[in-house]
Structure 1
Amino acid sequence: GELATNLAHSLDLIQQAVARGAKLVVLPELASSGYVFKSREEAFAASETIPGGPAVTAWSEIAAEHGLHLVAGICERDGAKLYNSAVLIGPKGYIGTFRKVHLWNEENLYFEPGNLGFPVYHTEIGRIGMAICYDGWFPESYRLNALQGADIVCVPTNWVPIPGQVPGREAMANILAMAAAHSNSIFIACADRVGVERGQPFEGQSLIVSYTGWPVAGPASRDKEEIVIADVALGEARRARNWNAFNQVLRDRRSDVYDEMLGSEVKRGWY
């Protein structure tokens, strides 16, 4: 709920990342508002419209200043509806929005399920898709991005501990991200938060995963704020999809045996 403070802190972190050479920055889920709401009224008060709200305006200004692409989680207001959303911003301003498709726990009290699908945006640095937190538990989220040509999926997230997790074991979300990157030949960049909000602990462990499935940065700390940076060539995700003389992970799908996911508006031969 400390909107101005959170926004100022995000801008400071973006500046730090830019100073280290970042060209694409990913911030956590609901980065400007916080996550644990007490009521829908509180969530509504912490929301803003896209793209005209204060956070998107400030993020657009810093992106323009540094020639930056930026993905950030935000509490979006659209009329009387609220969405747990992510915005993609480039050097020329706002590019597009993703609305979280799979709502987690009490998010169902405040937010509408996302209704924009999994859009992939063509940018100067590559094809960028988005997902948010619990979306990563569904293989379809990453597959639909990959089928639409995504080079990287940016994941603002607020991961929480999972039942059965052994103390000290890496986050389940890390394992899922690695598997999805490998099985779709895409980069995945997950930005999580640390600390405790209103009694809810968060897992941290932000990471950037190569199309090979192996992390190229992170996992970050579980309990300390940290920026993870990797130098990657996004085009490699498409260039290296042929694993050997016979196998290409997207081409080898047997859509004669299982569903083509026609709702993704994917046409055969796109990839």
Structure 2
Amino acid sequence: MTSPAPFAAIALQLAATSVEGCTSREAVAASMAETIAATQRKLVASCRFVEQYGGTRVKLAVLPEYWMTSYPGRIGVSEFAEKVAIDMDGAEYAALGRVASDLGLFLAGNAYERDPAFPGLYFQTSFVVAPSGAVVLRYRRLNSMFAPTPHDVWTAYLDRYGIEGVFPVATTEIGRIAAIASEEILYPEIARAHALRGAEIFVHSSSEIGSPLSTPKAVARQARAFENIAYIVSANTAGITGTAMPAASADGNSQVVDYKGHVLAEANPGETFTAFADLDLPALRAQRRKPGMTNQLARQRLELFAPIYSGRVVQPADSLAGTDGGFHIPDREHFARVHAGVIERAAKEGLI
């Protein structure tokens, strides 16, 4: 495989714009279009500075979690899907494709998306748009506390997309890219599954508490990078506007982490491009092919753990599946009830 020359990646830290106050889908669409236009202006200026500052071409930009809409809050699942979630072939992806094409880079981000195969639901989707304008990666968040995931309609989702669609890896001219959504950075199995399918760069869109202290997610980013010999480009929100929550509650600490677990760049609070760094894929690939104690990926003994994982259920699959092969639309409390049931069962079985 031909290795790309080192290139710059930016974790663009932007404020998420809540659409909570929008009264119609048309108003939501107009707000998202305005957000995308503003994002392009900020990205153009950011790339220009990074390229002039470091002399390396920017070929990857990562945007924060749900930066176009913010989170659903207490809006019902079907209502949120109808009012806010974007279509897989919708105007928002077309607009983002034009941004990626105009700048000649890969653009990663995160949005709530509806799938015609699962009407009434939505999935939180991390995506990558290529310089061609095409969506080359679509990863649906698998572990969420208060929202539907592919695991909640697992049998039907696997029938439609297969395991390749659950853990997609995009092979591109800048390397093999996979996505990790938000708090999933805390789950080592998510990153490892992608790495075992060849992922070299993890794009991580997040909206999390920033702190001058080391947070669990900051620790996890370094661990996921080190244990999988992979780069992580992690974009946090620069706060969330348009809600009653204090605006800076999820702000700061966007990072670029290298394949040795070293933080190459980290942003302070506020809208900023300052979490940027060069990614050296030839060096990463050389590390993966080097015999030695630091080659964690090649030293995995997966058969040791297969019997422990196999057949053991913690969070159940198909929690939304119906008896007729279909699925039902949950209320928001459904996910909390399932979670409480998991804890109760695990306690009875002596797992916790």
Please, what TM-score do these two structures have when normalized by structure 1? 0.84
Asked if 2 retains the 8 angstrom alpha-carbon contact of 1:131 and 1:141, the reply is: yes
Alpha-carbon distance, 1:35 to partner: 1.8
Cα gap change, 1:243/1:183 in structure 2, threshold over 3 Å: closer, same or farther?
Answer: farther
Give CA-to-partner distance per residue, 1:51-80, whole Å, 9 cap, x none.
x22221111012112211111111101132
Residue in structure 2 matched with residue 215 of structure 1 by the alignment:
263
Asked if 2 retains the 8 angstrom alpha-carbon contact of 1:25 and 1:69, the reply is: yes
Give distance in 1, aligned partners of 2:293 and 2:206: 36
Alpha-carbon distance, 1:141 to partner: 1.0
Tell me the SS of whatever aligns to 1:251: helix
More off after superposition, 6-15 vs 124-133: 6-15
Amino acid at match of 1:257: L
Residue in structure 2 matched with residue 10 of structure 1 by the alignment:
39
Tell me the SS of whatever aligns to 1:194: strand
1:121-160 paired onto structure 2 within 5 Å: 121-160=170-209
Give distance in 1, aligned partners of 2:209 and 2:82: 23
Give CA-to-partner distance per residue, 1:123-167, whole Å, 9 cap, x none.
011100101012111101111111111110001111147xxxxx7
Residue in structure 1 matched with residue 314 of structure 2 by the alignment:
none
Residue in structure 1 matched with residue 66 of structure 2 by the alignment:
30
More helix per residue: 1 or 2? 2
Alpha-carbon distance, 1:211 to partner: 0.0
Give distance in 1, aligned partners of 2:125 and 2:107: 14
Asked if 2 retains the 8 angstrom alpha-carbon contact of 1:36 and 1:198, the reply is: no
Q: Does 1:248 align with 2:306?
A: no
Same amino acid, percent of matched pairs: 24
Give distance in 1, aligned partners of 2:198 and 2:282: 10
Tell me the SS of whatever aligns to 2:298: coil
Asked if 2 retains the 8 angstrom alpha-carbon contact of 1:6 and 1:33, the reply is: no
Q: Residue 39 of structure 1 is aligned with which of 61, 71, 75?
A: 75
Asked if 1 retains the 8 angstrom alpha-carbon contact of 2:168 and 2:178, the reply is: yes
Asked if 2 retains the 8 angstrom alpha-carbon contact of 1:99 and 1:113, the reply is: yes
Tell me the SS of whatever aligns to 1:17: helix
Residue in structure 2 matched with residue 268 of structure 1 by the alignment:
none
Give distance in 2, aligned partners of 1:16 and 1:244: 42
Larger-Rg structure: 2
Give distance in 2, aligned partners of 1:33 and 1:213: 31
Give distance in 1, aligned partners of 2:184 and 2:293: 31
Structure 2, gaps ≥5 residues long: 1-18, 20-30, 52-57, 152-156, 158-164, 311-352
Alpha-carbon distance, 1:243 to partner: 6.1
Cα gap change, 1:143/1:174 in structure 2, threshold over 3 Å: closer, same or farther?
Answer: same
1:1-271 paired onto structure 2 within 5 Å: 1=19, 2-19=31-48, 20-21=50-51, 22-40=58-76, 41-42=79-80, 44-50=82-88, 52-79=89-116, 80=119, 81-92=121-132, 93-104=134-145, 106=146, 108=147, 111-113=148-150, 116-160=165-209, 168-196=212-240, 197-199=243-245, 201-218=249-266, 220-221=267-268, 223-227=269-273, 228-241=275-288, 245=292, 248-259=295-306
Alpha-carbon distance, 1:6 to partner: 2.1
Asked if 2 retains the 8 angstrom alpha-carbon contact of 1:37 and 1:43, the reply is: no
Structure 1 vs Structure 2 CA RMSD: 2.3
Tell me the SS of whatever aligns to 2:253: coil
Amino acid at match of 2:110: G
Q: Report the number of matched residues.
A: 250
